[in-house]
């Protein structure tokens, strides 16, 4: 409906912005100052919680060597946590661990672990138990993803994404959950999902399916394992620029330009903003929060969902034309 209205107006005015993803990115690339409203929504890059909020706590972060995982680790470490970061690339983990430990003065341990392998997860948790004991905070952040038309997906491509995101999160959560239950220790679990877990999205179907599964897993466990002292929450981030995500999902840079145009706050999120939210959700300040799904996307999801939101492209002059058209319809 809204698209039809915009289409009709476009005939009256040749200035209307092209609407395809590719074209809109081209248009935006030519004239791309940040949307003016972004000045109202500048990020606060300071650490939000009080110093010491995670003193004597242990945090386990998958994919903690890079991107969002790295910034969440740095924030928790700054707040007093002893952190354990895991992923496949030990050299990357070790470098991150050393850098963060030297900045914060709190130890960050690097442990290699491919979350797709339940035995590797079990060995990693054995190692962690020796180093730090069981964790108070578990952040399932590791993921894989790439853009691909679904008719081009091989079974292997499907399996590699769903193995990391869905099975990997399950292996980590079940391994730690069972040991925490055995040890009668409470913990806060967090998943870094994605906004399209809620809507689904073409061209990232394995990721959308796996992230939706993870959401169901965490909501289910929030209901079941509260009795053991465990909380489970989910953040659904919109686009936040990281090397890992954007190199695989936005090789041309077109997505980023297009995304800014559909985010009502006029900019991408920052890793530190996400890290502050994650720290809050895992902290004692959020001890009454469990089973929550937090959309953290600058308003992108609702902007894309609302049928008439396309009308933001209509200029004041075009509104005059449209108003006259509507009046004519009324008087006919």
Ligand X SMILES: NC(=O)c1ccc[n+]([C@@H]2O[C@H](COP(=O)([O-])OP(=O)(O)OC[C@H]3O[C@@H](n4cnc5c(N)ncnc54)[C@H](OP(=O)(O)O)[C@@H]3O)[C@@H](O)[C@H]2O)c1
x-marked contacts with ligand X along 184-203 as a string, rule CB under 6 A: --------x-x---------
**For residues 290-329, which are near ligand X according to CB under 6 A?**
none
Strand partners, 83: 59, 108
Nearest to 313, CA basis, from 22, 1, 24: 24
Closest approach, Cβ 193 to ligand X, in A, equals 7
Cα gap 235→301, rounded to integer Å: 13
- Applying CB under 6 A, the span of 16-24, 84-92, 125-133, 225-233 interacting with ligand X comes to 84-92
Q: With binding defined as CB under 6 A, does residue 242 bind ligand X?
A: yes
Does the protein bind ligand X through residue 73 (CB under 6 A)? no
**Residue 159 in the binding site for ligand X (CB under 6 A):** no
Residue closer to ligand X by CB (options 237, 298) is 237
Strands 108-112 and 137-140: unpaired
Among 38, 114, 147, 174, binds ligand X (CB under 6 A): 114
Please identify which residue in 177, 206, 239, 258 interacts with ligand X, judged by CB under 6 A.
Answer: 239
Structure tokens at 113: 């672990």
Looking at 49, 58, 59, 68, which residue binds ligand X (CB under 6 A)? 68
Q: Classify 139 as helix, strand or coil.
A: strand
- Distance, in Å, from the CA atom of 320 to the CA atom of 143, rounded to the nearest integer, reads 48
DSSP string, 292-331: -EEEESTTHHHHHH-TTGGGGG--HHHHHHHHHHHHHHHH
Tell me the C-alpha distance between 76 and 330, whole Å: 61
Burial level of 252, CB count in 10 A (0-12/13-18/19+)? exposed
Segment near ligand X (CB under 6 A); pick from 18-26, 51-59, 131-139, 239-247: 239-247
Number of other CB atoms surrounding residue 227 within 10 Å: 8
Single residue of 72, 108, 109, 144 touching ligand X by CB under 6 A: 144
Nearer to ligand X by C-beta: 82 or 87? 87
Stretch that binds ligand X, among 44-52, 112-120, 182-190, 198-206 (CB under 6 A): 112-120
Nearest distance from C-beta of residue 297 to ligand X, angstroms? 8
Interface with ligand X, residue 164, by CB under 6 A: yes
Kindly tell me which of 212 and 240 has the beta carbon lying closer to ligand X.
240
Which residue's structure tokens are 């936040």? 240
- Among this protein's residues, is 285 annotated catalytic? no
Q: Which of the ranges 13-21, 137-145, 253-261, 313-321 carries the binding residues for ligand X, by CB under 6 A?
A: 137-145
Tokens 């939210």 correspond to what residue? 277
Q: Does 244 bind ligand X (CB under 6 A)?
A: yes
Residues 268 and 259: their CA atoms lie apart, in Å, by 8
CA-based end-to-end distance of the chain: 21
Binding site for ligand X (CB under 6 A): 62-63, 65-69, 87-89, 92, 113-116, 141-145, 164, 168, 192, 194, 237, 239-240, 242, 244-245
Catalytic residues: 196
């Amino acid at each position: 409906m809204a698209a039809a209205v915009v289409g009709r107006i476009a005939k009256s005015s040749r200035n209307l912005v092209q609407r395809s993803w590719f074209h809109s990115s081209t248009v935006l690339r030519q004239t791309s100052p940040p949307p003016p409203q972004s000045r109202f929504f500048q990020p606060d890059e300071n650490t939000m919680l009080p110093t010491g909020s995670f003193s004597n706590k242990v945090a386990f972060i998958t994919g903690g060597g890079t991107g969002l995982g790295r910034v969440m680790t740095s924030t928790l470490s700054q707040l007093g946590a002893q952190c354990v970061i895991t992923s496949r690339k030990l050299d990357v983990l070790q470098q991150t661990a050393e850098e963060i430990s030297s900045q914060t003065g709190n130890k960050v341990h690097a442990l290699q672990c491919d979350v797709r392998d339940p035995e590797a997860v079990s060995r990693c948790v054995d190692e962690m138990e020796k180093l730090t004991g069981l964790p108070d905070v578990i952040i399932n952040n590791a993921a894989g993803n790439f853009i691909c038309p679904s008719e081009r997906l091989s079974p292997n491509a499907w399996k590699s994404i769903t193995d990391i995101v869905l099975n990997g999160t399950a292996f980590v959560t079940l391994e730690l959950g069972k040991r925490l239950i055995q040890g009668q220790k409470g913990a806060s679990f967090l998943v870094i999902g994605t906004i399209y877990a809620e809507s689904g999205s073409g061209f990232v179907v394995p990721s959308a399916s796996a992230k939706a599964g993870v959401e169901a897993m965490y909501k289910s466990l929030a209901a079941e394992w509260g009795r053991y002292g465990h909380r489970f929450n989910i953040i659904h981030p919109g686009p936040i620029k990281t090397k890992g995500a954007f190199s695989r999902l936005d090789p041309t840079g077109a997505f980023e330009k297009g995304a800014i145009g559909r985010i009502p706050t006029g900019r991408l999120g920052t890793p530190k903003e996400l890290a502050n939210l994650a720290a809050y959700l895992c902290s004692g300040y959020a001890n009454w929060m469990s089973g929550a799904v937090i959309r953290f996307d600058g308003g992108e999801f609702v902007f894309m969902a609302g049928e008439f939101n396309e009308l933001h492209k209509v200029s004041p002059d075009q509104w005059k034309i449209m108003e006259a058209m509507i009046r004519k319809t009324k008087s006919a």
